[in-house]
A and B are shown apart, each in its own frame.
Chain A
Amino acid sequence: MNQTVLSVSGITKTFPGVRALDDVSFDIRAGEVHALVGENGAGKSTLMKVLAGLYKPDSGEIVHRGEAVRLTSPLEARNRGILLIHQELSLSPELSAAENIYLGAWPTNRLGVLDKRKLRADAQAALDALGCDFGATARVGTLSIARQQMVEIARAQAFNANLVIFDEPTASLTEGEKVQLFQTIERLRAAGVGIVYISHKMDEIFEITDRITVLRDGAVQGTVETRDTGIAEITRMMIGRDLDSYFHRARADFGAETLRVEGLTKAGLFRDVSFSVREGEVLGLYGLVGAGRSEVVETIFGIRKPDAGRLFWRGEETAFPKPRKAIEIGMALVPESRKEQGLILGMGGRQNITLPHLRLFSRLRVMQERQERAVFDRYRERLSIKTTGPEQPVSLLSGGNQQKFVLAKWLCAEPKLVILDEPTRGIDVGSKSAIHELIAGLAEQGLAVIVISSEMPEVLGVSHRVLTMSEGRVAGEFSGDSMTEQNLIEAVSRQAPAAVESEVA
Chain B
Amino acid sequence: MTINWRGLLQRHGLILAFGLFLAGVALGNDAFLTPGNILDVLRQVSITGLIALGVTFVVVTGRLDLSVGSMLTLLTVIVVDQHNTLGPGLAILCTLLAGLAIGAWNGLLVGYLGFNALIVTLAMLSLLNGVTLWYSGGSNVNVVGADQSWFGVFGRGSVAGIPVPVILFLGSAGAASFLLRRTVFGRSVYAVGGNQVTSVFSGIDARLTVFCAYLLSGLATALAAVVMGSRVMGAQNTIGQGYELTVLAGIILGGTSLMGGSGSIWRTVIGIAMLGFIQNGLLLMGFPYYVQWLVTWAIIIAAVWIDLAAKRGKVFA
A residues whose Cβ falls under 8 Å from a Cβ of B: 15-16, 54-56, 303, 322-324, 326-327, 333, 335, 340-347, 351, 355-356, 358-359, 362, 365-367, 409
Contacts and interface: CB of A to CB of B under 8 A. Distances in A.
B216 to A, nearest CB: 15
Contacts of A367: 182-184, 186-187
Contacts of B185: 365
A393 to B, nearest CB: 10
B195 A362 contact: no
Nearest to A359: B184
Contacts of A358: 184, 187-188, 204
A341 B184 contact: no
Contact of B317 (A16, A355, A366, A409): A16
Given A346-B262, A358-B204, 12 more contacts: A16-B4, A54-B316, A327-B203, A333-B201, A341-B198, A344-B194, A358-B187, A358-B188, A359-B184, A362-B184, A365-B185, A367-B186
Most chain A Cβ neighbours within 10 Å, of B183, B190, B198, B205? B198
A303 B187 contact: no
Given A15-B317, A324-B204, A342-B201, A366 B195 contact: no
B22 to A, nearest CB: 31
Given A16-B317, A347-B190, A366 B201 contact: no
Label chain B's interface by main secondary structure.
helix
B197 interface: yes
B191 interface: yes
B202 interface: yes
Nearest to B194: A344
16 contacts: A55-B316, A56-B316, A323-B202, A323-B203, A326-B203, A327-B202, A340-B195, A343-B195, A344-B195, A346-B262, A347-B190, A351-B187, A351-B191, A358-B204, A362-B184, A365-B185
A355 B182 contact: no
B261 interface: yes
Given A340-B195, A343-B198, A365 B204 contact: no
Interface string B1-24: 000100000000000000000000
B200 interface: yes
Contacts of A362: 183-184
B199 interface: yes
Interface in B171-196: 182-188, 190-191, 194-195
Given A15-B317, A16-B4, A323-B203, A344 B187 contact: no
Interface in B29-88: none
A344 B203 contact: no
Contacts of A303: 200-201
A50 to B, nearest CB: 12
Given A15-B317, A16-B4, A340 B184 contact: no
A451 B194 CA distance: 28
B4 A340 contact: no
Nearest to B262: A346
Contacts of B200: 303, 323
Given A16-B4, A344-B194, A345-B194, A355 B183 contact: no
B194 A347 contact: yes
A342 B201 CA distance: 7
Nearest to A14: B317
Contact of A344 (B205, B261, B317): B261
Most chain A Cβ neighbours within 10 Å, of B182, B194, B261? B194
Contacts of A323: 200-203
Given A358-B188, A365-B183, A341 B203 contact: no
Given A15-B317, A367-B187, A345 B195 contact: yes
Contacts of A340: 195, 197-198
A373 B262 CA distance: 20
Contacts of A345: 194-195
Contacts of B204: 324, 355, 358
| 7 closest Cβ pairs, A-B complex | A324-B203, A344-B194, A356-B202, A323-B203, A355-B202, A327-B203, A358-B184
A322 B206 CA distance: 12
Interface in B199-242: 199-205
A164 to B, nearest CB: 23
Contact of B197 (A327, A341, A356, A359): A341
A304 to B, nearest CB: 11
A324 B184 CA distance: 14
Contacts of A409: 202
Contacts of B183: 362, 365-367
A365 B184 contact: yes
Nearest to A354: B187
A344 B182 contact: no
A356 B4 contact: no
A329 to B, nearest CB: 11
A340 B200 CA distance: 11
Contacts of A15: 317
A344 B184 contact: no
Nearest to B259: A346
Nearest to A347: B194
A218 to B, nearest CB: 16
A355 B262 contact: no
A324 B201 contact: no
Contacts of A56: 316
Contacts of A16: 4, 317
